[in-house]
Amino acid sequence: MSTRIVSTEPPEKAASTVPFHRKISYSLTDTAGNLLYCVISSYLLYFYTDVFGLSIGIAGTLLFITRFIDAIDAPIWGILIDRTKSKYGQSRPYFLWLSIPFAVFMVLTFTTPNWSESGKIAYAAKTGPGCLL
């Protein structure tokens, strides 16, 4: 004879119970990521125009193209993460593997080589999207 344990909680509450420490961990990770993204996004236009020496039109166009590419690749990353099965979870491997390239792109983005106008545009087009995508 088998015994059955019946829960007194409604099924929707029992299925959605997440430990408090996981909620805090997720929220702090998301807060840090959004804080970093907002600081980079708001400072990059100023940096490109006043420090790096690009015109406002070129800097705005570069940032627009980056946002357009981001609109296309964000759903692709979402599908990729949803289909990832690893012992570390779904998204943690990407945070671990992509942290080094992100750091390299951050340093390169805010490095100002003394090149011609077209060289600076090409440099900004290659390094800027690396820290915003």
Over residues 56-68, mean pLDDT = 93
Six-digit token string for 72: 């296309």
pLDDT at 50: 94
Radius of gyration, alpha carbons of the chain = 22
DSSP line for 84-106: ---TT-SSHHHHHHHHHHHHHHH
Q: What is the mean pLDDT of residues 45-60?
A: 94
Q: What pLDDT does residue 83 have?
A: 93
What confidence score (pLDDT) does residue 34 get?
Answer: 85
Are the beta carbons of 124 and 54 closer than 8 angstroms? Answer: yes
pTM higher than the cut 0.75: no
For residue 46, give every residue at least 6 positions away whose Cβ sits within 8 Å of its Cβ, in sequence order, or none: none
Query: Sign of dihedral through CA atoms 79, 84, 90, 93?
Result: negative
| Per-residue confidence band for 124, with pLDDT thresholds at 50, 70 and 90 | very high
Instruction: Provide the mean pLDDT of the chain.
Output: 86
